[in-house]
A and B are shown apart, each in its own frame.
Chain A
């Protein structure tokens, strides 16, 4: 029993299983922080780009011109841009063939936009479930390590005739490190999961609003067209 217990000692002297638990928790923590940084970047980008696109959309420029511009770079569209493109494409395709009434045109357009919307949301939500999982299970993993460590400490204590506190304390301290690490991994994961879920929800409603507004505009156009036809 050395007079000084450093953090490092506690980890090195722990039993093999507890060490494995600690290793797993460390890996989970590293991965979850990777996800956090990555998601943060993606969500921020999505937010900025949607804001920019909305500005452009409402600036009163010609919609077909905007579509032409966007469709030139089809593979790098994101968020509202892809929503707009798919909606406008479908609308143009349907309104070309004059048979369709304004109701059917709008139905088709709406459908295609909904598909694009759900794709975008899917992209934004990727990996968020991992954060949720880490947040909920890593305390349990840590607890498992702790229970195992304490169990070992008590088993070895049983072999001694006269137990002192000095014998039990280091073992329990070692075991408790595992719980500490579990909490260390779980807390940021939970915090950022909630934060990101909220952000995704906000973006979702933002996209939904845009979709409705855009279909409104398109509907107006379709009705005007069918009236001139008649």
Chain B
């Protein structure tokens, strides 16, 4: 029997197996019913209700947490109000600034007006001088050479004066323009800075809120882990009033990878570790941020009687 003879049959058989395997993998999945109590979603209300059915201790703990939550929220609101107040103050400041700028402008205009008056006075003086010069010219009619020279000189001086006046005018205009521009730029920069400040503040507030949520989640899961341990915990009268500090490391699915006692009553610690081993998996959050906090946790376990 050569390979060529077998090959189509082999192909058929392989295809059959693959199809069967895929069918099995897709159709067969055994789900074991883990009680709903231990499945926690991020929805706080639901989670609390689910727990309250079974575990009074957890309920109490969560109520405390809730109270904490409320007070924290109130604080948060206060903070936001403060922020708003500050923003208002900033706005008022800005308005005051604007007013100040207006005043300055007015002062500047007054100065300009004075300058103009002074110019007019000089002009009048000049006109008088001209008339006098004319008179002198008439008087010196007979002295033509001198007169001509004087005339030329007067003309020259007039020209120079005119040029001077023009230059002065141009310079003044330029100055005014520059001043206005600088003012506008300054105002713009101020506004931008204020806006950015506000944005940053808002962002900070949001980040803080998120952090707060993660922290409360962590607290909740801690409480649930404690409850889980307490479930399997074998109590003894000797343990009354004693406690144990525990360090637990968890895998992403809640599997306990390591559990050690950090000190405390030996009896309680042993019993707690045994109970953790028995539980095998502990409730953890599916939220990544929350899990990061739960991955390696320390807490004090205290059996209640």
Seen from chain A, the residues whose Cβ lies within 8 Å of a Cβ on chain B are 1-8, 26, 29-31, 33-38, 41, 126-127, 160-162, 164, 166-167, 173
Given contacts A29-B17, A30-B17, are A38 and B25 in contact (CB under 8 A)? no
Q: Is B34 close to A, CB under 8 A?
A: yes
Partner of B28, one of A3, A7, A29, A37: A7
Decide if A4 touches B31 in the complex (CB within 8 Å): yes
Task: Compute how far the CA of A67 lies from the CA of B29 in the bound complex, rounded to whole angstroms.
Answer: 64
Residues of B within 8 A of A4 (CB): 29-32
Interface string of B1-44 (1 = CB under 8 A from A): 10001101110111011000000110011111010000000000
CB distance from B268 to the nearest CB of A (A): 17
CB distance from A129 to the nearest CB of B (A): 14
Q: Is B198 close to A, CB under 8 A?
A: no
Residues of B within 8 A of A36 (CB): 9, 13
Decide if A38 touches B6 in the complex (CB within 8 Å): yes
Decide if A126 touches B31 in the complex (CB within 8 Å): no
CB distance from A160 to the nearest CB of B (A): 7
Given contacts A1-B280, A5-B32, are A33 and B25 in contact (CB under 8 A)? no
CB distance from A101 to the nearest CB of B (A): 43
Most buried by B among A31, A41, A162: A162
Decide if B25 touches A8 in the complex (CB within 8 Å): yes
Partner of B32, one of A3, A26, A127, A162: A3
Residues of A within 8 A of B13 (CB): 30-31, 33-34, 36-37
Decide if A7 touches B25 in the complex (CB within 8 Å): yes
Task: Compute how far the CA of A38 lies from the CA of B10 in the bound complex, rounded to whole angstroms.
Answer: 8
CB distance from A34 to the nearest CB of B (A): 4
Most buried by A among B9, B16, B253, B274: B9
Task: Compute how far the CA of A27 lies from the CA of B28 in the bound complex, rounded to whole angstroms.
Answer: 22
> Nearest 10 A-B pairs (CB), nearest first?
A33-B13, A37-B9, A38-B9, A34-B13, A34-B10, A6-B29, A34-B9, A5-B30, A7-B28, A3-B34
Complex interface residues of chain B between 129 and 183 (CB less than 8 A to chain A): none
Known: A38-B9, A161-B277. 6 other contacts (CB 8 A): A2-B253, A4-B32, A6-B29, A36-B13, A37-B9, A167-B280
Partner of B5, one of A7, A33, A38, A173: A38
Q: Is B278 close to A, CB under 8 A?
A: yes
Decide if A161 touches B31 in the complex (CB within 8 Å): no
Task: Compute how far the CA of A7 lies from the CA of B26 in the bound complex, rounded to whole angstroms.
Answer: 9
Please give me the residue from chain A that is nearest to B5 by CB atom: A38
Q: Is B281 close to A, CB under 8 A?
A: yes
Partner of A34, one of B6, B30, B31: B6
Decide if B277 touches A160 in the complex (CB within 8 Å): yes
Partner of B274, one of A6, A37, A161, A173: A161
Given contacts A1-B281, A38-B6, A162-B274, are A7 and B17 in contact (CB under 8 A)? no
CB distance from A219 to the nearest CB of B (A): 37
CB distance from A60 to the nearest CB of B (A): 36
Task: Compute how far the CA of A29 lies from the CA of B6 in the bound complex, rounded to whole angstroms.
Answer: 15
Task: Compute how far the CA of A160 lies from the CA of B8 in the bound complex, rounded to whole angstroms.
Answer: 52
Complex interface residues of chain B between 251 and 286 (CB less than 8 A to chain A): 253, 255, 274, 277-278, 280-281
CB distance from B32 to the nearest CB of A (A): 6
CB distance from B271 to the nearest CB of A (A): 12
Task: Compute how far the CA of A16 lies from the CA of B232 in the bound complex, rounded to whole angstroms.
Answer: 33
Residues of A within 8 A of B29 (CB): 4-7
Decide if B6 touches A166 in the complex (CB within 8 Å): no
CB distance from B154 to the nearest CB of A (A): 111
Task: Compute how far the CA of A4 lies from the CA of B28 in the bound complex, rounded to whole angstroms.
Answer: 11
Decide if B1 touches A3 in the complex (CB within 8 Å): no
Partner of A166, one of B8, B17, B277, B280: B280
Please give me the residue from chain A that is nearest to B278 by CB atom: A162
Partner of A126, one of B1, B8, B14, B32: B1
